[in-house]
Structure 1
Amino acid sequence: MDQPTVGILHPGSMGAAVAACAATNAAAVLWCRAGRSAASVERATQSGLTPVATLAELLDCGDIVISLCPPAAAEDLARAVAGHRFAGVYVEANAINPQRTQRIAALLPDATVVDGGVVGSPPVGGKTPTLYLSGPADATARIEALFADTAVQSAVLGTKVGQASALKLSYAAFQKTSRVLVALAVGMAREHGVDQELIEVASRRTDSYLAEPEYVAKTAARAWRWGPELEEAADTLAAAGLPPEMLRAAASTLARWNDAKDDGSLTLTDALDRLAQP
């Protein structure tokens, strides 16, 4: 397979590092200097990317374009690309929901759109994130080839645009919310002088709850008393000047399981089905 010319939109910390990996199997990796900050210039230079003056030049030369930008900008960027009738492979690799990804695919009728989701840290310093892909099989195969034998591992989930975005956001929802919950829990404990003891209690268990989905059914059966407990915790946060909304939202979520009180026969499927029914 011939080496493609790749364009990266825009070289942030993740985008520049991913683009540098793509350069291993590309003829060139281009980026557009127009409107970019000094920090972007420095990142792109350090990553060995080739500057071009305009988006039009990048799209005229690029066989594959990778969009990695702040989520809010994803559709505007796609519209700008669509305005030039780009007809290559467009990798929508931003942390956006599947519906937005599908809207972006509709904005680019001349391109072949591949849905992408990066899970992990930027591929520098020994880090090896995974770029999950979904979309037309021939196009996802090209992206796999682009990152072969680099620090970016690739994995194809299927042919449906939206699958990669769904996996990315499913994982991010747990991982990032968990970090916020840590801040709230330690903040609450610190207010009462027991933060070190909290950390000691937590250190006895290091497994990720996300790897134990079977426990969801037990959670549903206990929701009738866990919800009020979280309301008490939310009140404690509020009294400490910490935001209680996340725990109140969790209590509201648990309330969907109130009619499953102490039901030991629930399965994971039962619990998830009930959770999806207000």
Structure 2
Amino acid sequence: MGAAVAACARAHAARVLWCEAGRSTASVARATRFGLTPVVTLGELLDGSDIVISLCPPAAAEDLARDVAGHRFAGVYVEANAIAPERTRRIAGLLNPAATVVDGVVVGSPPVGGKSPTLYLSGPADAPERIEALFAGSAVRTRVLGPEVGKASALKLSYTAFQKASRVLVALATGMAREYGVDQDLLEVASWRTDSYLTEPGYIAKTASRAWRWGAELEEAADALAAAGLPPEMLRAAASTLARWDDAKDNGELTLTDALDQLSRP
């Protein structure tokens, strides 16, 4: 997602930099594919940038922000990760007052192959509008939600709570039906409602390959529920279920049978 989104900013940016230190060969290949300019250190990247977009796994978001704050970055920092609003505001506190922090989230698939995700933004003054201008005319659509940091994060996790948890439930329902030999009957029942995820069992393998990232997002969404006085247990349970697929990370060859078999093993 990060490399593809960054590539969409190239038309309106002098350069789009990325830091190659500590990154995998796969990350290098993606950055090269999308025409990003490599730099060796984070300090070099920050010295050459007036806008930074943080788009990484949720667990790394705060550590990255601390590193950026340590370099006294004074530009616009877009916190674009799937994290709880409270955590987003904490990151804003780390970077202020030197930097202007914009809360941002991407909803949708990476902007490749004709897909067009939406980057939702919330933040002070004209900072969100600067990000809108950066992606104008690209495959990344933008929408500003207002000046309050935390709004974009709340929208993302509200959507994540349904989208990702519901697909975990599909895996559990399909696994139970298979165990009792009624998986085809379940599909027939589900087909009565064409908008049911139960009609898409093939997506279970994709869910398994993304579980390492989705689990972290659901933990963040659970934190957001708890902060709102709502019960977080279901999302924490869904994240625990996803952990059974940790070994399936980014496995594009995984089959439905493989995914269900792996789910049934503690």
TM-score tier (shorter):
0.7 to 0.9
Q: Does 1:28 align with 2:41?
A: no
How many angstroms does 1:248 deviate by?
A: 11
State the distance in 1 between where 2:141 and 2:234 align: 34
Matched residue, 2:159: 171
Matched residue, 2:137: 149
State the distance in 1 between where 2:84 and 2:236 align: 24
Structure 1: segments with no counterpart, 5+ residues: 1-13, 210-244, 251-278
Q: Does 1:188 align with 2:176?
A: yes
Q: Does 1:69 align with 2:69?
A: no
Matched residue, 2:185: 197
Q: 1:85 aligns with which of 67, 72, 75?
A: 72
State the distance in 2 between where 1:192 and 1:94 align: 40
Matched residue, 1:275: none
How many angstroms does 1:137 deviate by?
A: 3.6
Per the alignment, in what secondary structure is the counterpart of residue 155 of structure 1?
Answer: strand
Amino acid paired to 2:135: F
State the distance in 1 between where 2:125 and 2:156 align: 20
Deviation digits for residues 232-257 of structure 1, max 9, x if unmatched?
xxxxxxxxxxxxx959979xxxxxxx
Matched residue, 1:59: 46
Q: Does 1:101 align with 2:88?
A: yes
Amino acid paired to 2:183: D
Structure 2: segments with no counterpart, 5+ residues: 198-232, 239-266
Per the alignment, in what secondary structure is the counterpart of residue 157 of structure 1?
Answer: strand
Q: Across the two proteins, how many residue pairs are aligned to each other?
A: 202
Identity across matched positions, percent: 81
The structure having more radius of gyration, on CA atoms, is 1
State the distance in 2 between where 1:104 and 1:174 align: 25
- The 1:248–1:151 alpha-carbon spacing in structure 2 relative to 1, beyond 3 Å, is closer
State the distance in 1 between where 2:138 and 2:185 align: 43
Per the alignment, in what secondary structure is the counterpart of residue 166 of structure 2?
Answer: helix
Structure 1 stretches of 4+ moved >4 Å? 245-250
* TM-score using structure 2 length: 0.73
- The 1:202–1:92 alpha-carbon spacing in structure 2 relative to 1, beyond 3 Å, is same
State the distance in 1 between where 2:106 and 2:92 align: 18
Deviation digits for residues 218-270 of structure 1, max 9, x if unmatched?
xxxxxxxxxxxxxxxxxxxxxxxxxxx959979xxxxxxxxxxxxxxxxxxxx
